[in-house]
A and B are shown apart, each in its own frame.
Chain A
Amino acid sequence: MNPSGDALENINPTLYGKCEERLVTREEEDDDIADEFDSREIFDLIRNIYDPEHPLTLEELHVVDVSLINVDNTKNEIKVNFTPTIPHCSMATLIGLSIRVRLIRALPARFKVNVEITPGSHSTEFAINKQLADKERVAAALENSTLIGVINQCISRPVTAA
């Protein structure tokens, strides 16, 4: 069921409702109007990423939240905080990596993306943040076909029981 094949770490996660779909305005569909990225658009890119061990989205588990996303269009900086469901979650690095990969693929290359654990929500947040911020280690991880397979599955569809 989960990628490591072990028992679920968080057997009974708290579920949260999904937010309303965003209404696309007439201005946004007009290609002549410059339209900058905002936190809601970034949220829409990552809210439907699936948790590695539950067939639930990061939004449903409150791992990602629109209020924890900051976009600075002038500096081309995007900061995403994510909140692991439990403070010793061993999947935290994988979840952060999935968010990074989703944003790297979807956003223009000019954006600098920082993905960090919401302060105080994980026992090893400093070590995980350092690893997620090290682009060389991220690049090496993404050359690992097993890992990229797991990430692609998180990004695209829920893990289904065989």
Chain B
Amino acid sequence: MTQTTPLQTLRGHVGRVWSVAWSPTGTMLSSCGEDKNIRLWGKESFGTKFTAKAILSDCHQRTIRETAWSPCGNFIASASFDATTAIWDKRAGQFECNATLEGHENEVKSVTWSKSGQFLATCSRDKSVWVWEVGEEDEYECGAVINAHIQDVKKVRFHPHDNILASASYDDTVKLFKEDASEADWVNCATLKSHTSTVWSLAFDRTGTRLATCSDDQTVKIWKEYRPGNSAGIPTPDGDSVWKCVCTLSGHHGRTIYDISWCHSTDLIATGCGDDAIRIFKESTDHSSGDEVSFDLVHTVHGAHAQDVNCIAWNPMVPGMLASCSDDGEIKLWQFKLDTL
């Protein structure tokens, strides 16, 4: 027996809301969309409801596609169709834009911070992935321009522990990159091929040894890392880990799957889909062991939004709490309950 209870609907954006992101402590939510504004939502002291705390505006000329919080919670990066990435900090007490990263030729689609806070990565319609080194005093130096994809890059995400970067693309692949200390460069260390259309998003599990991806081909895929010398006997010819697709979840989604979030406290996977639904998957303990992985659809919220669900995010501190946003201009908060949780 499972259920998802709607907690709250947050309104304020005009038009499509592209993305939501929780602060590291799970107490604040940032959102952004085609109205070129970032909204920050938080609870009043002693309150239980989220309310609008701030609107960050006048920094981007076009749609803001995604926001990302630094691991320390003191910085927010925003990726925009205006080809720039802005860095907002709260040194002055409230978030202000004090740095703008330029270089991409075209729309910036996604932005992510490494766990250490040392690196920031962005990706663009111009097919490239850029890794920026975070210095002192608003200094961001471009450490690498990676031209490994042959099409529009949709999403970048750092590994939860290591300096490994994953990217998802319109070219139907996911690629992993690691820092090559000797060359002081970032190199492509794995290419994950199996999806048959655009890969819109990806999420690592808490261990960083598995990756979930979602696609326009209406499937979710689970990938597992096989390190050199693995007991399963999977060859690793280049001395790098090999990632293999160990599970494909098909037949559940009615249209493009725009986002996926893998909860690091409950291990549940949530998806946001173009058929307006939110779905939640749980690993099957009966059938999953090592190389045999299976996931069950444990809950579907049909009509979660009135239009496409663009982004979904598990709260990092409150188990089972979800945020979602949609083309319908709304942000919703949900509490998922599973009897066995």
* B-binding residues in A (CB < 8 A): 109-110, 112, 130, 133-137, 139-140, 143
B199, chain A: closest CB distance, angstroms? 12
Measured between beta carbons, the chain A residues less than 8 angstroms from B133 are none
Q: Is the CB of B34 within 8 A of A139?
A: yes
Measured between beta carbons, the chain B residues less than 8 angstroms from A110 are 306-307
1/0 per position for B63-103, CB-CB distance to A under 8 A?
10100000000000000010000000000000000000000
Measured between beta carbons, the chain B residues less than 8 angstroms from A136 are 65, 109, 154
Q: A109-B328, A134-B170, A134-B198 are in contact. Are A143 and B307 (CB under 8 A)?
A: no
Q: Once the chains are docked, how many angstroms separate the CA of A23 from the CA of B266?
A: 59
Q: Is the CB of A143 within 8 A of B274?
A: no
- Contact check: which of B62, B170, B328 meets A143 at CB < 8 Å? B62
* Contact-residue bracket for chain B: 20 to 34
Cβ-based interface call for B308 (8 A): yes
Measured between beta carbons, the chain B residues less than 8 angstroms from A109 are 306-307, 327-328
Q: Once the chains are docked, how many angstroms separate the CA of A143 from the CA of B34?
A: 10
Q: Is the CB of B198 within 8 A of A140?
A: no
A-B contacts, CB under 8 A, total? 36
- Contact check: which of A112, A130, A133, A139 meets B63 at CB < 8 Å? A139
- Contact check: which of A133, A135, A137, A143 meets B152 at CB < 8 Å? A137
Of A134, A136, A137, most B-chain CB atoms within 10 Å: A136
Q: Is the CB of B152 within 8 A of A112?
A: no
Cβ-based interface call for B125 (8 A): yes
Q: A110-B307, A130-B198 are in contact. Are A143 and B81 (CB under 8 A)?
A: yes
12 pairs of residues in contact across A and B, judged by CB atoms under 8 Å: A109-B328, A110-B306, A112-B255, A112-B275, A130-B198, A133-B256, A136-B154, A140-B63, A140-B81, A143-B62, A143-B63, A143-B81
Measured between beta carbons, the chain A residues less than 8 angstroms from B275 are 112
Q: Once the chains are docked, how many angstroms separate the CA of A70 from the CA of B154?
A: 30
Q: Once the chains are docked, how many angstroms separate the CA of A146 from the CA of B307?
A: 28
Cβ-based interface call for B163 (8 A): no
